[in-house]
Amino acid sequence: MTRRWAGAALAPFLLGLTFGAIVSVLNGWEFVLGVAASLVLGVGWSWAAVAVVMGALAGRPMRASMRGAASLVMAVVGYYATDLARGVYRTVEQTGAHAKTFTDWHSALMDLGFWSVLAVVSGLPLGLVGWGTHRRGLTGLACQLAVPAAAVLEMAWRLSGESRFQPHPGVARATWTGVGLAAIAAAAVLVARQLRRPPAAESGARDTRAPAQPPAARS
């Protein structure tokens, strides 16, 4: 039992740390592919997708909820730990002819604490959404559509107001438009699959077919 719980906890920890570190590193890249990847992974719906995926891998709702929260908290830790290693919070203080470099730990810890709390608050229900993707019917479909719908809404919102303030506005518009179209296509596939799925048989339904007749005895 202990080994099974340890294995279940390892996945969200590793995925979260890796995801957060990758997003931080991508924020420092300047070439086109790096900028595009940062615009995809460094936004809200992508972070939410991490918790949903972790919840989908769990077999029980409580475990799914905990996995969702743990993965997002570790993503926050990985992000800010990498930021610290990259020198994002490093400040140079000029005192006369001397310059002193120091790390602004107060700002780093405040950011880490704020986003960690938000990760717990959002990760718990997002993990349950992931667990719900395995359910049949409209409930399962709604859970499956959560991430594509969030991607479409967020990309539309960013395109309408934020793209012109980006350092690479053309890359931002192309990337967010592509993500929005891909999310719409994914949602259409999920809905079409749900419509093609036959309705589940009613439990306890009686068989109205006539019983098979025994073969006639030979004379």
Position 157 scores a pLDDT of 92
- Domain for residue 169, yes or no? yes
Domain range holding 103?
Answer: 2-196
Nearest CA to 112 out of 44, 24, 3, 180 is that of 24
Q: Which two tokens stand for residue 19?
A: 């995801």
pLDDT digits (tens, 9 = 90+) for 108-157: 999 999 999 999 999 999 999 999 999 988 999 999 999 999 999 999 99
Total domains in the fold of the chain: 1
- Domain for residue 124, yes or no? yes
H-type alpha helices, the chain: 2-26, 32-41, 44-56, 61-86, 105-132, 137-161, 169-196
- Domain for residue 207, yes or no? no
- Domain for residue 64, yes or no? yes
Q: Which two tokens stand for residue 165?
A: 């303030």
DSSP per residue over 106-163, as a string?
HHHHHHHHHHHHHHHHHHHHHHHHHHHTTS-HHHHHHHHHHHHHHHHHHHHHHHHHTG
pLDDT digits (tens, 9 = 90+) for 152-178: 999 999 988 877 777 778 888 999 999
Q: What is the pTM of this model?
A: 0.81
